[in-house]
Structure formats: structure tokens, C-alpha cells
Amino acid sequence: MSSSQIPNDHASLAAWGREDPVRFIEVVLGADLWDGQREIVRSVFDNPRTAVKASHATGKTFVAAQIVLAWFYLMGPTKILTTAPTWLGVSRLLWSEIGRGHGRMPSDMGGTLLGTELRASRDWWAIGLSTDEGVRFQGHHAERMLVVIDEAPGVRPDIWEAVEGIRASGDVRLLVIGNPVQPGGPFFDAFTKDREGWATHTISAFDSPNFDGIESLEQLLAMPPEELDKNERPYLVTRRWVAEKARTGARGHRCSRPVSMATSRCSPTAPCSRWRGSTKRVDQTHPTATRAGR
């Protein structure tokens, strides 16, 4: 798409971006998404609550950062809260990606970025909070809001309760992402007993572009060393890493596909039978899904 096809004024650009948030992220933000990430973007703009369990290094934090930026510029005035179990996770992971994405944007888009805060006006902002500051999650309400929980299995239950209070009014979208490492808690419940209220997504290492054409773990393990080092996107989970985890985790593991966190299908700490019910890549769409802003 040529730059002449992108609307020049902010109001038209926002309307154009709301029609296809993926297009906005790829064209305006300059982000290189793969199919699994595009599904997550659409899910957040289409559904009240989106939960993503995924393998290590599948780009889940990266796509969460692009969603924060897209929501900020397309849905404003708006408020965005992001969190993770530790301040390091907030500042060095998610907000580091937000900062890089913001740096790629056209300079006339507006918004001032300072550390873990992006602000356009008093009532139009995005902020990163750590979960040792639970009181700071209370009392936030707006006509449109986005809440992002990174590394969701490690976030305390009282933070989840505070987020539910935020959802009591307005159009609030919730994105929670993480590895399936705990067979219990609110993140686990989103894929099991509370699944009806969520748009759930599972991303295996085998879903990523580095594994195109590889249909099974057995096929991967049979590959010669030089094939294991062929990765279309080396910044995503690699073939060799998954093969190594499969081999080192095979002894004494309860799962018939002992790939641990390499695929997101099971983990050393979560009995496979408890997570197995939610291994389909795109599990469901919330029955009342609507596109935000339309």
C-alpha cells in the first residue's frame, strides 16, 4: 500500500484503522506480523475478553505492544492499563516493545511517551503498572478502555478482581497472555471452566513461521542438524530449541508429546490432561463479538 492511500488527517486515519486494525499495525506502525499474531489483534478489537496461551518466543508480548499502540491511536480518547507480575516485566518487556513501536510511527501522530506512560491528554493515556501496586488498579473507568495482562499466570488474584471492577462500565477490552504453567487460577480458568466468556487462542511453536511444513514432533526430531538451523524468523522460537526441549524432557514426563513449554500444549508443572482440553489454536469467539468503534 502506498503512502498516498493512507488518510492524512487523524480522524480519517482512525476511522480507516478501525476498519482493519491489522492493516493499521502493519502499514502505519510498520510491524511485521504473522498469522497467529493477526488473529490476536482481531480478537481484541472484536471481543470483550481475549486469552492467549502460547509457547515461549512466539511474539505474544510483541503483538500485545502493537495492540496497545493501535488501541491508543484508533480508539481515543481512551485509557489503557498494562501489567505483569514484576516491574521488570512491565518496563523491560512490554513497554520496551511499545517504545520501539512508537519510535517507528510517523512523528505527527501525537502522544508523549515517557518511560511506561503514553499520554495525549488528561483522559487519554496508557500506563504500565506492576502488580505490587494493586490499589492503583481501582477506580479507573472510561467510555473505552483496554487492559493488558502479560505473563498472566503470575498475576495475583486480587489484581484480576480489580480488573473485573474496571469492566463494570464502558467498553472495556481485556487481553491476557502467558505460558500455560499453572493448572489453576484465573488464567487457567479462562481456558476451562470459564471458557464461555472468553475468546481463547492457543499458539504452539509449530504454528509459527519457523515450523511451516513441519506437521509433527516426530518429523522435527528426524531432521538433520542443518535443517534444524533453518528458521525464517530467527527471533521467534527455533526448530533446534524445540527439538532440544523435546529430547531433554522425554524421560519421566507424563505427556505423550513431551515438549514442555516448547509447544504450549503442556508443561512440566501442569498435568497435560488438565490443559489438553484447550489446545486448539483458535478455540472460540465470544458469542456477542462486535468490532470496537463500529
pLDDT reported for residue 100: 95
Question: Measured between alpha carbons, how far is 79 from 75 in angstroms, rounded to an integer?
Answer: 9
Going 174 to 178 to 184 to 188, the CA torsion angle's sign is positive
Number of domains the chain contains: 2
Of 204, 222, 243, which residue constitutes the final position of a domain?
204
Q: Counting Cβ atoms within 10 Å, is residue 280 exposed (0-12), middle (13-18) or buried (19+)?
A: exposed
- Do 39 and 141 lie in one domain? The reply is yes
pLDDT reported for residue 9: 79
Q: Percent helix, strand and coil across the chain, each rounded to 5? A: 45, 15, 40
Q: Which residues pair with 50 in a beta bridge?
A: 175, 199
41 in Cβ contact with 21 (< 8 Å):
yes
Give the CATH number of the domain where residue 144 resides. 3.40.50.300
Q: Which residues pair with 200 in a beta bridge?
A: 51
Question: Measured between alpha carbons, how far is 55 from 261 in angstroms, rounded to an integer?
Answer: 6
Question: Measured between alpha carbons, how far is 96 from 126 in angstroms, rounded to an integer?
Answer: 14
pLDDT in tens, 121-169: 999 999 999 876 566 676 677 789 999 999 999 998 888 988 988 898 8
Please determine, for residue 41, whether its predicted confidence score (pLDDT) is greater than 90.
yes
Q: Counting Cβ atoms within 10 Å, is residue 14 exposed (0-12), middle (13-18) or buried (19+)?
A: middle
For residue 32, give the DSSP letter.
-
Mean pLDDT of 194-222: 95
pLDDT reported for residue 134: 61
Of 204, 232, 255, which residue constitutes the final position of a domain?
204
Report yes or no on 283 lying in a domain.
no
pLDDT reported for residue 249: 73
6 in Cβ contact with 282 (< 8 Å):
no
Residue bearing the bigger pLDDT, 169 or 45: 45
Domain of residue 223: give its range. 214-263
Question: Measured between alpha carbons, how far is 179 from 237 in angstroms, rounded to an integer?
Answer: 13
- Of 150-159, 177-186, 227-236, the range with the highest mean pLDDT is 227-236
Question: Measured between alpha carbons, how far is 95 from 115 in angstroms, rounded to an integer?
Answer: 8
pLDDT in tens, 85-117: 988 889 999 999 999 999 998 888 889 999 999
Report yes or no on 290 lying in a domain.
no
Question: Measured between alpha carbons, how far is 57 from 54 in angstroms, rounded to an integer?
Answer: 9
- Do 98 and 187 lie in one domain? The reply is yes
Which grid cell sits at 150?
A: 502479560
Which grid cell sits at 48?
A: 470483550
Report yes or no on 282 lying in a domain.
no
- Do 190 and 240 lie in one domain? The reply is no
- Do 218 and 152 lie in one domain? The reply is no
Report yes or no on 273 lying in a domain.
no
- Do 18 and 159 lie in one domain? The reply is yes
77 closest CA partner among 175, 171, 174, 176: 171
CA distances to 43, 48, 92 from 83, in Å: 19, 18, 12
268: number of Cβ within 10 Å: 13
Q: For residue 48, what pLDDT band results from cuts at 50, 70 and 90?
A: very high
pTM exceeding the 0.75 threshold for the entire prediction = yes
- Do 96 and 218 lie in one domain? The reply is no
pLDDT reported for residue 3: 53
Which grid cell sits at 29?
A: 506502525
- Do 139 and 232 lie in one domain? The reply is no
- Do 103 and 244 lie in one domain? The reply is no
